């Protein structure tokens, strides 16, 4: 099978690559983190800032990674050292990221499988399943603290990824994306239309889509009157920009080795610049549609129950696994059906992202050791399954095993913890190390590497293989050498501040 540089696998066409890359980018971050951040940062205000960052910083980083992959015909582990032997450390760090992420990502995918199976049982008339889910907080808490169930469902999710990957780039990844991506878009659009047609959804849509400039203001004391007044705050603007930048980072699958690996399967005649723009459109579209699915109904739920909207838009698993089941319960007889479709959609989104993370690991093993794809896939299956154990039972039998005592605001706390802050279990720790630290470090080093060591001309020449001209060449040079590194360092600092609760940063 196509596993060595001499017989490198390839996508069947430009659209296949776009679908695969977009599928990788469209994951759980789009479905629970984007709506939450939009709700926290002024709805349309956040969306506008996010769009600007996607077409500037996102374009720069994605173009760089895809070009590195296609230029070297290698995965991220060996691509950097092929360009310059002294910089192979970036490839090593970029490989650690998917290796650490995919086990806990698959555990969360297992949570989604559990909810889909539960809603399916309810639709089939299972009264015990309906009764169990009637208290969504207790249901979620009971499941994630169980001794084996979280690992069992996570293992099924890992196996599903392995079965796709072992079939190869065209026969597995490409073919599965051609099925899952259209279904994902159809289901997302269907749920969004259903939600938008619900009585009372208008206020929620307004809250989500209309720019709220009050989100950029802060309370200060008027020296003349001694009263608190709201004025424009540069700090709030900075938090909005950094929040959108962090979301863009995760949403576009940057600095995870994925785009380098997928780029290595890209044909020389395909246009990198056009592909990147289309991937950005697909990814942003599904993120915005996710907000249309979630924010109006959560807004209505908050108003109905007297809960502050920002509190109802709780970040992380709480929104998807605790709040939304309560919302679906309010739909009456249609609720279980909405639950089935919604969690099937989430399964597809999680699968496409997990497959890309898994593939980055498999491709690295193949490139480094010359191992056949089938052997590398099953080798990684056992590695990922072993590492998944830590996250799967981190809220159950190993709930008292923590990595440190200093992290705060990790986003995995909620009502199901019964007042105990499970801030530092393995899953939370792995999430912090990869998303908040390693990814910004790899991205910043990549910009320095390309901008000042290899030089941007290497990337520009690679882009020109599929284009008569690189329209954004001048913009790209300035971004990758100066602006992008500065912005990425700002993300790194903000993420560390968020994790440690420094300076009031809570996103």
Give the pLDDT confidence of 332-366 residue by residue, as tens digits: 999 999 999 999 999 999 999 999 999 999 999 99
Return phi, psi of residue 307, to 5°: -90, 135
The mean pLDDT value for 412-425 works out to 39
Nearest to 496 by CA among 405, 403, 408: 408
2 vs 308, more confident:
308
pLDDT at 336 (0 to 100): 95
User: Residue 499 domain-assigned?
Assistant: no
Residue 226 gets the label, from left (phi > 0), alpha (psi -120 to 50) or beta, of: left
Torsional sign, CA 388, 9, 25, 449: positive
Which range (77-86, 390-399, 445-454) has the least confidence? 390-399
- Share of residues in the chain with pLDDT > 70 (%): 91
Length of the chain measured in residues: 507
Angstrom distance (rounded) from CA 355 to CA 163: 10
pLDDT band at 125 (very low <50, low <70, confident <90, very high): very high
pLDDT band at 87 (very low <50, low <70, confident <90, very high): very high
Q: Could you tell me the pTM of the whole model?
A: 0.90
The mean pLDDT value for 232-236 works out to 84
Q: Determine the distance from the C-alpha atom of residue 245 to the mean position of all C-alpha atoms in its chain, rounded to a whole number.
A: 13
pLDDT tens per residue across span 483-494: 999 999 988 888
pLDDT at 402 (0 to 100): 57
pLDDT at 496 (0 to 100): 78
pLDDT band at 316 (very low <50, low <70, confident <90, very high): low
User: Residue 141 domain-assigned?
Assistant: yes
- Angle, helices 175-196/14-25, rounded to nearest 10 degrees: 60
Strand, helix or coil at 228? strand
The residues, any chain, with a CB within 8 Å of residue 409's CB and separated by 6 or more, are 498, 499, 501, 505, 506
pLDDT at 314 (0 to 100): 66
pLDDT at 132 (0 to 100): 93
Across the chain, which distance is largest between two alpha carbons, in Å? 76
Domain limits for position 212: 5-394
The mean pLDDT value for 425-433 works out to 76
pLDDT score of 308 more than 50: yes
**DSSP type of residue 484:** H
User: Residue 162 domain-assigned?
Assistant: yes
Strand partners, 230: 219
Question: What mean pLDDT, rounded, does the chain reach?
Answer: 88
User: How many structural domains does the chain have?
Assistant: 1
User: Residue 171 domain-assigned?
Assistant: yes
User: Residue 460 domain-assigned?
Assistant: no
pLDDT at 408 (0 to 100): 42
116 vs 147, more confident:
116
Q: List C-alpha distances in Å: 165 to 114, 138, 173.
A: 23, 36, 6
User: Residue 427 domain-assigned?
Assistant: no
Angstrom distance (rounded) from CA 211 to CA 497: 27
Q: What is the CATH number of the domain that holds 100?
A: 1.10.4160.10
Only one residue has tokens 């590195």, namely 68
pLDDT score of 221 more than 80: no
Q: Does residue 385 contact residue 161 with C-beta atoms inside 8 Å?
A: no
Q: Does residue 50 contact residue 339 with C-beta atoms inside 8 Å?
A: no
User: Residue 430 domain-assigned?
Assistant: no
Which range (110-119, 247-256, 270-279) has the least confidence? 247-256
pLDDT at 397 (0 to 100): 72
User: Residue 458 domain-assigned?
Assistant: no
504 vs 418, more confident:
504
């Amino acid at each position: 099978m196509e596993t060595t540089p001499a017989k490198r696998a390839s996508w069947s066409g430009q659209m296949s690559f776009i679908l695969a890359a977009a599928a990788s980018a469209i994951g759980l971050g789009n479905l629970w983190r984007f709506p939450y951040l939009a709700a926290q940062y002024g709805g349309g205000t956040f969306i506008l800032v996010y769009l600007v960052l996607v077409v500037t910083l996102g374009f720069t980083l994605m173009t760089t990674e895809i070009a590195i992959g296609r230029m070297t015909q290698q995965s991220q582990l060996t691509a950097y050292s092929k360009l310059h032997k002294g910089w192979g450390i970036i490839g090593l760090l970029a490989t650690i990221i998917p290796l650490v992420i995919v086990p806990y990502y698959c555990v969360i995918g297992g949570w989604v499988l559990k909810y889909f199976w539960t809603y399916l049982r309810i639709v089939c008339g299972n009264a015990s399943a309906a009764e169990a889910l009637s208290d969504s907080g207790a249901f979620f808490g009971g499941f994630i603290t169980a001794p084996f169930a979280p690992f069992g469902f996570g293992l099924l999710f890992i196996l599903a990824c392995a079965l796709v990957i072992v079939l190869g780039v065209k026969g597995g990844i490409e073919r599965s994306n051609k099925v899952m991506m259209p279904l994902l878009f159809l289901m997302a659009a269907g749920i969004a239309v259903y939600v938008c047609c619900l009585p009372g959804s208008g206020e929620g849509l307004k809250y989500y889509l209309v720019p709220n400039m009050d989100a950029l203001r802060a309370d200060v004391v008027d020296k003349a009157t001694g009263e608190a007044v709201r004025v424009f705050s540069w700090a709030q603007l900075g938090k909005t920009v950094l929040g959108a930048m962090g979301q863009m980072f995760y949403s576009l699958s940057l600095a995870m080795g994925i785009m380098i690996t997928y780029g290595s399967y890209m044909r020389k005649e395909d246009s990198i610049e056009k592909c990147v723009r289309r991937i950005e459109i697909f990814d942003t579209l599904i993120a915005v549609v996710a907000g249309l699915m979630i924010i109006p109904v959560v807004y209505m739920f908050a108003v109905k129950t007297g809960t502050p909207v920002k509190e109802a838009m709780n970040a992380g698993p709480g929104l998807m696994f605790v709040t939304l089941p309560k919302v679906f319960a309010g739909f009456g007889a249609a609720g279980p059906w909405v639950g089935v479709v919604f969690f099937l959609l989430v399964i597809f989104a999680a699968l496409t992202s997990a497959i890309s993370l898994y593939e980055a690991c498999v491709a690295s093993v193949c490139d480094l050791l010359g191992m056949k794809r089938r052997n590398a896939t099953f080798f990684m299956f056992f590695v990922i399954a072993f590492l998944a154990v830590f996250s799967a039972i981190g809220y159950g039998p190993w709930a008292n095993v923590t990595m440190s005592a200093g992290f705060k605001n990790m986003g995995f706390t909620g009502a199901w913890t019964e007042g105990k802050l499970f801030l530092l279990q393995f899953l939370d720790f792995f999430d912090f190390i990869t998303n908040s630290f390693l990814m910004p470090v790899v991205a910043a080093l990549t910009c320095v590497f390309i901008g000042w060591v290899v030089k941007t001309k290497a990337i520009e020449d690679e882009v020109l293989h599929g284009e008569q001209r690189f329209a954004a060449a001048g913009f790209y040079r300035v971004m990758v050498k100066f602006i992008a590194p500065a912005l990425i360092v700002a993300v790194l600092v903000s993420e560390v501040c968020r994790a440690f609760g420094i300076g009031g940063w809570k996103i």
